[in-house]
């Protein structure tokens, strides 16, 4: 019996970011017969990362004999124009399409930031889809009223197994915590201001001011990630220099492999106070939780589905200032308890197998209507 064919219309690395990493993880999983001969499906791909290949990609899609087209859609007006052309091509050829939204901005984009004709075209296109995937339960509202509720699936992000510390390493990390005089706070993401790195710099400044006033140093701030704009790099470096934070802030560059694992092992607090419009369910937060870290973040997008204030971290409100959090971070017993709980949560819900199995169920649900849709995807 021949395997069902699924065509990925998606962004593949490079560059590496949450969406492209999730796509790569799925494409290279054991679901793909090219990876595992016992896999459920035959995968093929149309990489839409480079828009210069747009016409060539349309030809690939048109010629594909796939049973299902898995499409990771854009959250920009320009990218959406490309998506509408692809939607129309699939519709004209009577091809089944399942979209995956790796973010939380799409509905706002459609309802508030588009011309009337483009908004209408999106509502019409989404209504005709076989299904839509979002990253968390709270994000299902994005497609409410655009497509039938029973066609909206939840598939949560996952942590790459290679970046999860072993149980022994977690035990060693917890043992070391009890003797730590200075706790390292990690910010790990692409340097975009709305992702919150200026707030973490303010935390470093507040810590220096506290020490200058006679307190003992309790926190050091580690930053890692890519600067896409020179202006962001200039802002970061100038802030550190102007506020004399060289002994409180370390920039590690772009980290992968063992260097990334080392940071995840040595840091105990992860800060991502993001208000990034396209945010969905940040993989970086899940990585931090899985590696035994206390979380400082916001109630933005799908984050409240994974981080609860006072349970596995602290939620920053817009009214908060950087110094508000130090009192909450003084109790190491509390930090240790949250570190353990975060590790357990990721092991239960956010490992690679959870993600791959959920995508397997979503694919089969669309391809075979007899699959139980009452399950959590």
What is the tally of structural domains in the chain?
A: 2
User: What is the extent of the structural domain holding 215?
Assistant: 161-349
Q: Are 166 and 153 in a shared domain?
A: no
Domain with 336 in it: what CATH number? Answer: 3.40.50.2000
Q: Are 144 and 173 in a shared domain?
A: no
Q: Are 181 and 295 in a shared domain?
A: yes
Dist. CA 245–CA 241, nearest whole Å = 6
Say if residue 269's pLDDT is above 90: yes
pLDDT digits (tens, 9 = 90+) for 93-115: 999 999 999 999 999 999 999 99
The pair of structure tokens assigned to 78 is 């320009």
Q: Are 169 and 275 in a shared domain?
A: yes
Low-confidence winner among 65-69, 130-134, 166-170, 332-336 (lowest mean pLDDT): 332-336
What pLDDT, on a 0 to 100 scale, did the predictor assign at position 375? 40
Q: Are 223 and 143 in a shared domain?
A: no
Say if residue 279's pLDDT is above 70: yes
Q: Are 109 and 142 in a shared domain?
A: yes
Low-confidence winner among 81-95, 292-306, 362-376 (lowest mean pLDDT): 362-376
Report residue 373's pLDDT band, with 50, 70 and 90 as the boundaries.
Answer: very low
β-bridge partners, 270: 186, 295
Report residue 377's pLDDT band, with 50, 70 and 90 as the boundaries.
Answer: very low
β-bridge partners, 159: 351
The pair of structure tokens assigned to 153 is 């699936």
pLDDT digits (tens, 9 = 90+) for 258-268: 999 999 999 99
Report residue 374's pLDDT band, with 50, 70 and 90 as the boundaries.
Answer: very low
Domain presence at residue 361: yes
Domain presence at residue 375: no
Q: Kindly report whether the peptide bond that precedes residue 291 is cis, defined as omega within 30 degrees of 0.
A: no
pLDDT digits (tens, 9 = 90+) for 332-358: 788 899 999 999 999 999 999 999 999
Say if residue 318's pLDDT is above 90: no
Listed in sequence order, the DSSP H helices in the chain are 18-27, 54-63, 77-92, 106-112, 116-127, 167-177, 197-212, 230-242, 257-266, 283-290, 332-349, 352-367
Please name the residue that has the structure tokens 């980290």.
255
Q: Are 64 and 93 in a shared domain?
A: yes
Q: Are 218 and 299 in a shared domain?
A: yes
Q: Are 293 and 262 in a shared domain?
A: yes
Domain presence at residue 373: no
pLDDT digits (tens, 9 = 90+) for 53-72: 999 999 999 999 999 999 99
Average of pLDDT values for 166-193?
Answer: 94
Average of pLDDT values for 261-276?
Answer: 96
Say if residue 325's pLDDT is above 80: no
Q: Are 266 and 289 in a shared domain?
A: yes
Domain presence at residue 32: yes
What pLDDT, on a 0 to 100 scale, did the predictor assign at position 354? 96
Domain presence at residue 77: yes
């Amino acid at each position: 019996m021949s395997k069902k064919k699924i065509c990925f219309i998606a962004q593949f690395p490079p560059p590496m970011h949450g969406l492209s990493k999730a796509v790569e993880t799925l494409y290279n999983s054991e679901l793909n017969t090219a990876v595992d001969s016992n896999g459920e499906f035959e995968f093929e791909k149309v990489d839409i990362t480079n828009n210069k290949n747009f016409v060539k990609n349309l030809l690939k899609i048109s010629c594909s004999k796939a049973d299902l087209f898995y499409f990771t859609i854009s959250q920009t007006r320009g990218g959406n124009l490309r998506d509408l052309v692809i939607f129309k091509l699939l519709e004209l050829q009577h091809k089944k399409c399942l979209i995956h939204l790796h973010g939380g901005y799409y509905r706002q984009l459609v309802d508030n930031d588009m011309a009337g004709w483009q908004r209408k075209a999106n509502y019409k296109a989404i209504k005709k889809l076989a299904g839509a995937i979002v990253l968390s339960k709270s994000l299902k509202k994005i497609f409410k009223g655009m497509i039938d509720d029973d066609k909206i699936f939840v598939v949560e992000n996952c942590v790459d197994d290679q970046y999860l510390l072993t149980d022994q390493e977690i035990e060693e990390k917890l043992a070391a915590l009890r003797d730590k005089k200075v706790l390292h706070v990690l910010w790990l993401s692409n340097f975009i201001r709305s992702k919150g790195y200026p707030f973490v710099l303010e935390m470093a400044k507040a810590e220096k001011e506290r020490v200058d006033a006679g307190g003992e140093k309790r926190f050091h701030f580690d930053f890692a990630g890519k600067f896409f704009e020179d202006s962001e790099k200039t802002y970061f470096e100038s802030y550190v220099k102007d506020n004399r934070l060289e002994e409180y802030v370390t920039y590690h560059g772009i980290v992968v492999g063992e260097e990334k694992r080392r940071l995840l092992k040595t840091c105990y607090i992860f800060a991502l106070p993001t208000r990034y419009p396209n945010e969905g369910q940040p993989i970086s937060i899940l990585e931090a939780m899985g590696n035994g870290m206390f979380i400082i973040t916001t109630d933005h997008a799908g984050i409240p589905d994974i981080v609860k204030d006072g349970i596995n971290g602290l939620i920053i409100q817009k009214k908060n200032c950087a110094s508000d959090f130090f009192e909450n971070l003084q109790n190491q017993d509390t930090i240790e308890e949250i570190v353990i709980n975060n590790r357990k949560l990721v092991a239960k819900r956010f490992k690679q197998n959870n993600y791959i199995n959920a995508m397997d169920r979503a694919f089969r649900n669309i391809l075979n209507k007899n699959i139980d849709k009452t399950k959590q995807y």
